């Protein structure tokens, strides 16, 4: 409200737009607020001391209030203007890679993705400006692209992921016209920068509707372009237990978010990749006698996660913990000795334990073993030492230490 009113009082048009309007009309709490204005970025910058200009593709102002950021964008146009500073650059594939064309509110609306995302709340008279039937679509709970769906997906293939995401988040139906081009266009996702796909991953899988997003992505044939090493076996009836494990993990993630508990993207990445890592480990062991099981697991984890990173750039601060989580799995098999006891104190124990529980639910790990690790966490330390068989005097020979040395 503060931003809208200050823009208006300075003589500019100011509208709340996008998810902010859509979600408020649906009675939901918006995730963030976007504002559209006829003021140029420099003018916005000058009005707010707590603002800065960002963006290469399109310049916009970020106005900060504590942890909250309000994004203010100047209306975007559709036609490249003569002004040398204003340009739209198309990739050979037709994808827009740079544009800084300012325009009218009508043009701005037509560039947005879905009709329900092109509703504008005008602070000057509290009216809602509707373009492209957005209000009717909101009422009938359907997602329709503005303009020709095939062309809109070509311009920006991420819109296909947004279709799956909004269908999941809002529980809307994707209009058949918006579904039809997806099979032919899905592979355009392979050209989208992997860092942008990570941002989209977070919105799809860490916002409380992971399971539904996943099912829509699968239904539309998009998931294989995000996690090819996972998608390739999901339809195999022999892998039903592993597929169910993935759904459980997604459901757990949604439940954690609903309960206000923290989540980390590395966990789902690890769950998605676990089967591929496991199979590659077995393959490496079969191919060569030089590998210990742990060495094969480490090599397989590196190989699979490197390949996955070409699709979605998982930042290193998540990538390393994910590898740890996967590489700890064999250690749950041992219930005796100091090394088993040390597992409890490992900084990735919690995530690794959660993955092990999922593996137990799919039948890959004995439930009895899983129960051992569940129970032991509840025990006082003396009892833990008992159960790990550490009752005797602490004595570790050099040879023993070497043999049990942790690879991580």
Residues that bind Mg ion (CB under 5 A): 19, 32
Between 209 and 348, name the residue whose CB sits nearer to ligand ATP: 209
113 binds, among ligand ATP, Mg ion, none (CB under 5 to 8 A by kind): ligand ATP
Q: Whole-angstrom Cα distance, residue 126 to residue 343?
A: 59
32 catalytically annotated:
yes
Contacts 24+ apart (CB under 8 A), 39-42: 39/7, 39/10, 39/12, 39/13, 39/14, 39/72, 39/74, 40/74, 40/102, 41/74
Q: How far apart are the first and last CA of the chain?
A: 51
The CB-of-320 to ligand ATP minimum distance in angstroms stands at 28
229 catalytically annotated:
no
In sequence order, which residues have a C-beta less than 8 Å from that of residue 55 and are 6 or more positions away?
none
34 catalytically annotated:
yes
The reply to whether 31 sits near ligand ATP by the rule CB under 6 A is yes
Of the candidate residues 3, 7, 14, 19, the single one contacting ligand ATP (CB under 6 A): 19
Q: Which of 9, 32, 375, 408 is catalytic?
A: 32
The reply to whether 18 sits near ligand ATP by the rule CB under 6 A is yes
137 binds, among Mg ion, ligand ATP, none (CB under 5 to 8 A by kind): none
Which window, 111-119, 280-288, 350-358, 381-389, contacts ligand ATP (CB under 6 A)?
A: 111-119
The CB-of-3 to ligand ATP minimum distance in angstroms stands at 15
Q: Which has the closest alpha carbon to 369: 381, 355, 377, 357?
A: 357
Of the candidate residues 38, 137, 156, 242, the single one contacting ligand ATP (CB under 6 A): 156
Residue number closest to ligand ATP, CB atom? 19
Pair 26, 37: CB distance under 8 Å: no
The reply to whether 117 sits near ligand ATP by the rule CB under 6 A is yes
Query: Could you write out the DSSP letters of every residue in 95-135?
Result: -EEEE--B--HHHHHHHSSBGGG-EEEETTTTEEEE-TTHH
Q: Which of 23, 108, 113, 156 is catalytic?
A: 113
């Amino acid at each position: 409200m503060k931003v809208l009113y200050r823009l208006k009082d300075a003589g500019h048009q100011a509208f709340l737009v996008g998810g902010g309007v859509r979600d408020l009309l649906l009675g939901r709490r918006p995730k963030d607020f976007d504002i559209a204005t006829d003021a140029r970025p420099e003018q916005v910058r000058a009005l707010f001391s707590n603002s800065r200009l960002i963006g290469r593709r399109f310049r916009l102002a970020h106005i900060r209030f504590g942890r909250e950021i309000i994004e203010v964008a100047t209306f975007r146009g559709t036609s490249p203007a003569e002004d040398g500073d204003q340009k739209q650059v198309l990739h050979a594939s037709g994808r827009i890679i740079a544009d800084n064309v300012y325009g009218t509110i009508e043009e701005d609306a037509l560039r947005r993705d879905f009709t329900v995302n092109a509703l504008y709340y005008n602070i000057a008279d509290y009216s809602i400006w509707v373009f492209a039937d957005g209000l009717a679509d909101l009422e009938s709970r359907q997602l329709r692209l503005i303009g020709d769906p095939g062309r809109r997906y070509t311009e920006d293939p991420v819109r296909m992921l947004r279709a799956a995401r909004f269908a999941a988040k809002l529980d809307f139906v994707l209009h058949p016209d918006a579904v039809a081009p997806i099979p032919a266009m899905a592979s355009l996702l392979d050209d989208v920068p992997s860092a942008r796909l990570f941002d989209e991953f977070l919105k799809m899988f860490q916002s409380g509707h992971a399971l539904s997003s996943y099912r829509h992505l699968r239904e539309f044939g998009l998931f294989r372009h995000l996690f090819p090493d996972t998608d390739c076996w999901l339809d195999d009836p022999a892998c039903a237990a592993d597929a169910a494990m993935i759904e459980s993990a997604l459901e757990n993630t949604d439940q954690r978010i609903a309960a206000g508990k923290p989540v980390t993207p590395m966990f789902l990445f690890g769950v998605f990749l676990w089967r591929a890592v496991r199979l590659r480990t077995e393959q490496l062991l079969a191919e060569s006698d030089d590998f210990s099981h742990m060495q094969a697991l480490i090599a397989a984890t590196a190989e699979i996660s490197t390949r996955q990173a070409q699709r979605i750039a998982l930042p290193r601060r998540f990538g390393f913990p994910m590898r740890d989580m996967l590489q700890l799995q064999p250690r749950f098999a041992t219930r005796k000795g100091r090394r088993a006891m040390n597992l409890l104190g490992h900084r990735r124990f919690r995530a690794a334990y959660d993955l092990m529980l999922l593996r137990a639910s799919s039948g890959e790990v004995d439930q009895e073993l899983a129960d051992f690790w569940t129970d032991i966490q509840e025990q006082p330390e003396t009892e833990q030492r008992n159960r790990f068989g550490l009752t005797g005097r602490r004595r570790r020979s050099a040879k023993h230490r070497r043999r049990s040395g942790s690879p991580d």
